[in-house]
Amino acid sequence: MEQETKFIRILGRVATVLAVLMYVSYIPQIMSNLQGNYGNPVQPLVAAVNCTFWCVYAYFKKNRDWPVFWANFPGIFFGIFAFITALH
């Protein structure tokens, strides 16, 4: 049982890091948008809304789910910023 708990804890941390990296990958799109090479604004907006819902869910659970919260938190800001910069 302890080994399963340790595995789940490690898995949660790795998944959190990967999710943060996924949203940090918006930086090249944001830079392109700022240079006038606009990307489609729909996907980052949907990602930001999705991340907002996951953060609210994780925060308001009886036992807060911090890996889910922190995995999605950056997506709110990177998604909104990518959306705004993609508007032309």
The residue written with tokens 């789940």 in the block is: 8
Model confidence band, residue 1 (pLDDT cutoffs 50, 70, 90): low
- Report in angstroms the alpha-carbon separations of 86 from 42, 77, 82: 9, 14, 6
Buried (b) or exposed (e) across 54-84, using 16+ Cβ within 10 A?
bbeebeeeeeebebbbbbbbbbbebbbbbbe
Mean pLDDT calculated for residue range 35-51: 95
- Domain range list for the chain: 2-86
Mean pLDDT (whole number) for 69-88: 95
Write down the CATH number for the domain with range 2-86.
1.20.1280
Mean pLDDT of 55-83: 95
Query: Is the model's pLDDT at 51 over the cut of 90?
Result: yes
- Say what the pLDDT of residue 4 is: 78
Per-residue model confidence (pLDDT) at position 88: 84
Predicted confidence (pLDDT) at residue 2 exceeds the cutoff of 90 = no
The arithmetic mean of pLDDT across residues 37-46, rounded, is 94
Mean pLDDT rounded to a whole number for the chain: 93
Are the C-beta atoms of residues 63 and 84 closer than 8 Å to each other?
no
Q: CA-to-CA distance for 41 and 73, rounded, in angstroms? A: 19
